[in-house]
């Protein structure tokens, strides 16, 4: 495994193609309020075919106009609703940042605006795009993909050495074309750029790479879901072997409680964990001096994650977490460079994809 050269045989993608067929088969198988009160649903439940989704008729939080404690928040919500109304009427759009800077003294912080936008989306049961509020993209995409943006701009992700910024209006892109065999979600931008420098997209062509540069923004999650809906090809996650990396992978796969009302357009339960697996650390004899001890916070997070319903139903994931908890060590993807500078792109990823090394 360690010294294995990049395979070039015609049946390289045989295991991958079988995995894709199993994914396709599974897809076919599933085939009057008080005017002085603002209500927003908050409870979510886990569904293995969707992820974390909002429960109908669940408990709600109330922000009242006649309560001293919530008067200011009530006023801020109405302020944002009025801004949204004007944008819908004029068919214009703004980012959350734009809304905040329209009156920084009133809102106080960007987080206040972000929370209110989420609450309004949840309350009205509509995606943020329907409110004419856009998110600023931070994610990047590269590989065998071309599409047309809403304004008619043609984008070719193949012809870019640093990746293409994820569009701010994912709903508006059309005419997506790709012959990719798989999508690789990369946790960190540094790893994404290193794979581009190593010409990974061409070495294991055709494929698509996406990074959310850490915790993914809304547009990156929407794009990954759109790629799944359009092409129905395997999607793999490459994250650090630590609780934070696993959490990021779970956001792509199962979503988050705060955005559970948009689960059907954001989550991709078909995502598989490709690496870095805690079991890979020992199997590959990664030197101990490049490993990092788990902090108390890491360990507590790991224990908490093992109790989540979407981990309980994933015995292989739970086993990997047990390995991490037992060793009390974590590793970044960059730890693979201790084996060789291009080990990730030359050996690790090709071997994993050829022989089905995902869970």
Which of the listed CATH numbers 3.20.20.70, 1.10.10.1200, 3.40.1360.10, 3.40.50.10420 matches domain 140-355? Answer: 3.40.1360.10
Q: Please state which CATH number belongs to domain 12-134.
A: 1.10.10.10
Return the beta strands (E) in the chain as ranges.
Answer: 37-41, 44-47, 51-54, 60-64, 94-95, 133-134, 140-143, 146-148, 154-156, 164-165, 174-177, 183-186, 208-211, 235-238, 272-275, 292-293, 329-330
Strand partners, 302: none
pLDDT of residue 35: 43
pLDDT of residue 51: 53
Report whether 95 contacts 78 (CB < 8 A): no
pLDDT of residue 264: 72
b or e along 290-305 (b: 16 or more beta carbons within 10 Å of the residue's beta carbon)? ebeebeeebbebbeeb
Q: Say what angle helices 243-254 and 218-231 make with each other, to 10 degrees.
A: 60
b or e along 14-29 (b: 16 or more beta carbons within 10 Å of the residue's beta carbon)? eebeebbeebeeeeee
Catalytic residue, from 85, 93, 101, 147: name it: 101
pLDDT of residue 96: 87
This prediction has a pTM of 0.78
Question: CATH 1.10.10.10 residue ranges in the chain?
Answer: 12-134
| Strand 44-47, strand 51-54: pairing | antiparallel
pLDDT of residue 259: 60
H or E stretch at 194 = helix 189-197
Residue 101 annotated among the catalytic residues of the structure: yes
Question: CATH 3.40.1360.10 residue ranges in the chain?
Answer: 140-355
pLDDT beneath 50: ranges in the chain:
1-9, 32-43
């Amino acid at each position: 495994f360690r010294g294995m050269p990049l395979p070039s045989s015609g049946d390289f993608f045989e295991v991958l193609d079988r995995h894709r067929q199993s994914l396709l088969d599974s897809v076919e198988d599933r085939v009057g309020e008080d005017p002085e009160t603002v209500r927003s649903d908050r409870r979510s439940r886990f569904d293995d075919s969707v992820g974390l989704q909002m429960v109908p008729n669940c408990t709600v939080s109330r922000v009242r106009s006649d309560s001293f404690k919530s008067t200011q928040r009530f006023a801020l919500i109405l302020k944002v609703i009025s801004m949204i109304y004007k944008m819908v009427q004029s068919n214009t759009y703004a980012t959350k940042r734009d809304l905040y800077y329209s009156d920084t003294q009133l809102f106080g912080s960007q987080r206040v605006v972000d929370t209110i936008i989420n609450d309004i989306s949840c309350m009205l049961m509509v995606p943020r795009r329907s409110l004419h509020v856009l998110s600023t993209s931070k994610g990047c995409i590269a590989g065998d993909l071309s599409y047309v943006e809403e304004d008619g701009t043609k984008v070719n992700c193949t012809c870019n050495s640093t990746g293409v910024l994820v569009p701010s209006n994912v709903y508006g892109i059309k005419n997506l074309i790709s012959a990719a065999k798989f999508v690789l979600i990369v946790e960190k931008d540094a790893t994404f750029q290193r794979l581009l420098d190593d010409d990974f997209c061409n070495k294991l062509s055709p494929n698509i790479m996406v990074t959310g540069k850490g915790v993914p923004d809304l547009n990156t999650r929407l794009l990954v879901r759109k790629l799944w809906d359009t092409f129905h090809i395997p999607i793999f996650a490459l994250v650090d072997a630590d609780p934070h990396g696993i959490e990021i992978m779970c956001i792509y796969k199962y979503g988050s409680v705060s955005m559970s009302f948009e689960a059907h357009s954001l989550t991709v339960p078909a995502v598989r964990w490709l690496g870095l697996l805690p079991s890979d650390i020992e199997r590959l004899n990664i030197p101990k001096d490049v490993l990092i001890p788990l902090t108390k916070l890491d360990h507590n997070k790991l224990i908490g994650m093992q109790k989540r319903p979407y981990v309980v139903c994933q015995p292989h994931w739970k086993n990997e977490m047990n390995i991490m908890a037992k060793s009390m060590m974590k590793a970044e993807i960059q730890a693979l460079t201790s084996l060789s500078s291009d080990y990730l792109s030359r050996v690790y990823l090709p071997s994993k994809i050829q022989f089905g090394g995902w869970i």
